[in-house]
Structure formats: C-alpha cells, structure tokens
Structure 1
Amino acid sequence: MSRKLMSLVALIVIVYLVLCAALFVFQRSLIYFPQPGTLNAADTLVKMPDADIHVSTREHSGPKALIYFGGNAEDVSRNLPGFAEAFPDYALYLMNYRGFGGSGGSPSEEAIAEDALALFDQVYASHPQITVIGRSLGSGVAVRLASQRPATQLILVTPFNSLVEIATRQYPWVPVQWLLKDRFESGKYAAHISVPTLLLAASDDQVVPRASTQRLLGHFPKGVATIRVVPDSGHNSISERREYLQWMGDVLNR
C-alpha cells in the first residue's frame, strides 16, 4: 500500500472516529427536541430533588385518571382539548419532559423514568384507576412505568421495540449499540406487563418500522396486548385520524 493511500485511509478513520465521538457527546440533542407549552392549561407540579416537572392537567373528581407521555418533539398540552372531550370521566395529566413546557432540568431516559414514577404515585393517591398512554418516544416511558406501577390499562401509540433499532436505521454507519446511552428497551419491560394493552400503529409510519412494533408485541405475555393499525396515517399524522381517539375510547370508556 502506497504512503499516500495509507495517509488517506488514516484520515478517513480519524474523521469517522471524530464523527462517532461527536454523536456520542451530543446524542441527546438528536433525541430530545424540547418544546414550550403553548396551551394555557392548569399545571400540576411534580417536585423532584433536582427539578420541578410541569404536568398539563385537567382536574376531574372520581377514580379515573389518564397519564400521557408524548413524543420527542411534542407539546403535550395541545392534546388537552381533544382528550378532555373524548374522555370526560378522566382526570388528565400530560407530563412535560425535563426541558419541555416549563419543566426544569435536561431530559434523559433515567431522569424521565424517575419523574414518571413520581407523577404516577402523586396521581394514584387520589385516582386509583390510571390509564397510561405513551406516544412514540413516550411509549418507551409508558411501558416501563406500567411494568413498575399498578396501571389499569396501557395504550402505546406508534411504539417501537427499542430505540437502538430506530437509531441503527437512521445511522447505519455508526456502532449505535455501543454508543447509545438512552436505549428505551421497551421489549424488556413489556414482558412484565399484565394489564390490557393496546398498540396503535400508523399504516404508513416513516419513523418506526412495523417490524419493530411487531417485535414489541411479541414480548408481551400471551393475551395481554393487541395491535390495531390506523389507516391512511403516518408517524406524525396518526392523531389527526378519526380512529385515533375513537379506538382509545373503545378501551377507556368501557
């Protein structure tokens, strides 16, 4: 091998390693895209040792509550009007991740998981029947929470089996399995779920492959989870379809 070729190969390797290092250092900025809360809604505060977590809330007396975890770039407060109309018998708690909607701190999988547990415990004190809903990234938060707390029902919207699978698809040239910190391994937690679970998939999801959702479904104990595919919908447009709230309502309003 000539010296010039060796120098070129060395340069390519150095550039590749630098790119991998940059992705490792800045990876959370590629996962989480904090949004300000735009809807003027009542707030519930969850006080964590290192941050105050804001939860967009619609109070309602009675035993039933809904806790919602949104996507990685979602203003969850925008769901309040639709949820309030579709689920009138439920108190609504839509958690703003750290850095989102006025919440303090910076998002990470472990921090969000701890915040979710604290929110559940706070809501459970007055609402013993809690349905947990998670969309996209939030499906990873929701399934982990439901494996650790006595949720009544679980609904996962455009869910994936693990974030490693999705990141590998987006960055096939990067050793994602070695670099990724926040892995959201939903399949691992699904195996411990025993409450009725609905998976809502988009017919034309451009972000989460159907195969990943099917793998997640396969990790649930037999008879626990079912999947329904919302027609003519994509990853971001699924909530615009009539079936989105209707099929959730089939579960919540029984």
Structure 2
Amino acid sequence: MHINYYLIASIIVISILAIGILIYFFQHKFFFQAEKLPQDFKFAYENLVAEEKTVFPEKDAQINYLHFKVEKPKGVVIYLKGNTKSIKGWGKFAIDFTRLQYDVVMMDYRGFGKSTGKRNTDAMKRDSQFIYDLVKTEFSEDKIFVYGRSLGTGFAARLASKNSPKMLILTSPIFSLEKTIHRYLPFMPAKPFMKFNFPTHHYLKNVRCPIKILHGTDDNLVPIKTAIELSQINPKLTRLYVILGAGHIDIHQFEEYHKAMEEIFDPRLNYMDSSTTSFNYSHRK
C-alpha cells in the first residue's frame, strides 16, 4: 500500500490554516462574552454605595465605570473583571474590599455594559491606563491596589508594570491568551492568528510592587500550575495563596480566599465574618 505523504501533509496544513482562520475571526466571541446594557440602565447594589461615571478616553469610545465609595477610605482598588457579563453582575464583588474600608473602581471593557468603541488590544490597554490616571487624581499611588480576575489579570499586570501602585493582586490568573488557546488546541501554532493577547507572564517581569496571586486547586479552566509558573517569574515580590478545592468562578465562595484578602489588606485582622463578603454569591446568577 502506497502512502501519499504529500497528500497527508497538505491535509494537515490546510486543516491548521482553516482552524487558524476560525480562531482569528471568532476569538473576540470566545474571549469576550459581553453583556450590553441600555444607556439608561440604573445600577443598584445591596450594602454598597456606587457612583456611576462615563468617560471618553478617545474619539468614538466611551468607558462606563462604577466608583464604590466608603467613608474615610484607606485606599482604592482598581478592579479589572473577567471576560463575561458586565459590571452589572460583577459590581457586587466590590463588597470584598469596601468591607475592609477601601474604595473600588470597576470598569466595563469596550462593548460591555454601557461602554462602547472598537475593541482591540491596544485600545483596551489605553482604556485601563486612562482609568488608572483618573484614579491618581484622587488617590496617591501608594494608596492604589490593582486587582485582576481571570482575563482581567492581563490588564492588571500590565498596569502594575507601567505604573507604581501599592500592590498587584491576581485571582485565577491567565498566563496569556495564546497559551489558553494552546491548552485546548495543543497542535495549533496559535500566535500567528492572535488578534488579542495580554501576556501576564511578560508584564510580571517588570512589576516593582508586591504581587499576590490567589488560585484554586480545582480550577479546570486555568489550572493551578499556571499560578505556580507565574509566581516564579518575580519570586522576591510574589506570594501565592492556594485555595484548596476552589474552582475558577467560585473561588470567592471559600473562606480561605477572604482570609487571604484580610491578610493582604490588613494583617491585623484575625476574624472573618462571611456575611460581610461575597461568600454566598453565585457568579452564575
């Protein structure tokens, strides 16, 4: 039996190109599962005081964000959320920081919520820096904590590498979008087809503030080994908190997560009242 290796090779190349084209044109839907909100939507949260603001970082783009406020804040947390929904659903997680007496600023990416504008890597980087600069007009950098969750960890790590915040906190961090694709399609040379990429691992090399990483052992979307690898990039500044049994979207439902937050923001605290946290919140709702 004669094996036509040229035909086999051609089929493999054509298949890779076909999958690559699909990745190129549809990755925005895979990485950004946006929830859009009408411009007249009113935000409301229990036990939280939120001020809604809309800014225009550049022509044909508007960024909508919420500033959760407390009396006499110790500082502020810039919260970069994950890739799903809008700040309508994410806003409730501000409670984890306001209970510790910190303001929270949470933005919607382009195409999410009330935010508009063409979404691309460079524009989204500029937007997050624009919000950071706005926060700096109210808080000195030694009062600014940058927090990223899931997809938001790439933006958070970049902000910390380009500025001088008090601390960088990463929850369930990604290594890079390219590596995320490779995990599901290990045979694919994904890099040539990537329109979006936020290489958390690259940014961490240039971070000069303390880095805290929280990750669940049962995270099936981004495995715990990712956090271990990231913690080794800038080890002198990094501490890894392993949350036993936690997954990707339920990490906040574990007491150890909130105890870690207390240790990070105020080491003097030695008691956690779970009723004042997001412990009982479901991200699926």
Change (3 A) 1:80 1:250: farther
- Tell me what 1:231 maps to: 244
CA contact (8 A) 2:77 2:97 kept: no
**Matching of residue 48 in structure 1 with residue 57 in structure 2:** yes
Name the SS for the 2:232 alignment partner.
helix
CA contact (8 A) 1:152 1:195 kept: yes
Residue identity opposite 2:139 in structure 1: H
Residue identity opposite 1:64 in structure 2: G
Q: Could you tell me how far apart the structure 2 residues matched to 1:192 and 1:10 are?
A: 42
> Where do 5+ consecutive residues of structure 2 fail to align?
45-49, 268-285
- Tell me what 2:275 maps to: none
Q: Could you tell me how far apart the structure 2 residues matched to 1:151 and 1:106 are?
A: 28
**Matching of residue 66 in structure 1 with residue 97 in structure 2:** no
Deviation sequence 1:103-134 (CA, Å, 0-9, x none): 00243322221111110110111112111100
**What TM-score does the superposition give when structure 1 sets the normalisation length?**
0.88
CA contact (8 A) 1:53 1:104 kept: yes
Residue identity opposite 2:258 in structure 1: L
Name the SS for the 1:175 alignment partner.
coil
**Matching of residue 181 in structure 1 with residue 195 in structure 2:** yes
The root-mean-square deviation of aligned C-alpha atoms, in Å, is: 2.6
Residue identity opposite 2:79 in structure 1: Y
Q: Could you tell me how far apart the structure 1 residues matched to 2:255 and 2:85 are?
A: 20
Change (3 A) 1:24 1:86: closer
Deviation sequence 1:4-58 (CA, Å, 0-9, x none): 9977875665454333222212222221111246843531223111311011221
- Tell me what 1:125 maps to: 137
**Percent of aligned pairs with the same amino acid:** 26
Moved more, 101-110 or 64-73: 101-110
Name the SS for the 1:131 alignment partner.
strand
Length, aligned pairs only:
253
Q: Could you tell me how far apart the structure 2 residues matched to 1:86 and 1:24 are?
A: 37
5 Å-filtered alignment, 1:21-170, equals 21-36=21-36, 39-40=43-44, 41-50=50-59, 51-60=61-70, 62=73, 64-84=75-95, 86-88=97-99, 89-128=101-140, 129-170=143-184
**C-alpha deviation, 1:250, in angstroms:** 1.8
Change (3 A) 1:45 1:14: same
Moved more, 100-109 or 7-16: 7-16
Moved more, 238-247 or 141-150: 238-247
Tell me which of 191, 201, 206 is aligned to 2:220. Answer: 206
Moved more, 39-48 or 159-168: 39-48
**C-alpha deviation, 1:184, in angstroms:** 1.4
Q: Could you tell me how far apart the structure 1 residues matched to 2:121 and 2:186 are?
A: 22
Residue identity opposite 1:33 in structure 2: Q
Name the SS for the 1:29 alignment partner.
helix
CA contact (8 A) 1:134 1:156 kept: yes
**C-alpha deviation, 1:67, in angstroms:** 0.6
Name the SS for the 1:223 alignment partner.
helix
Name the SS for the 1:22 alignment partner.
helix
Q: Could you tell me how far apart the structure 2 residues matched to 1:153 and 1:168 are?
A: 30
CA contact (8 A) 1:87 1:249 kept: no
Name the SS for the 1:201 alignment partner.
strand
Moved more, 93-102 or 50-59: 50-59
Deviation sequence 1:119-177 (CA, Å, 0-9, x none): 01101111121111000110111010011112111110011222221110112232212
Q: Which 4+ residue blocks in structure 1 deviate beyond 4 angstroms?
A: 1-13
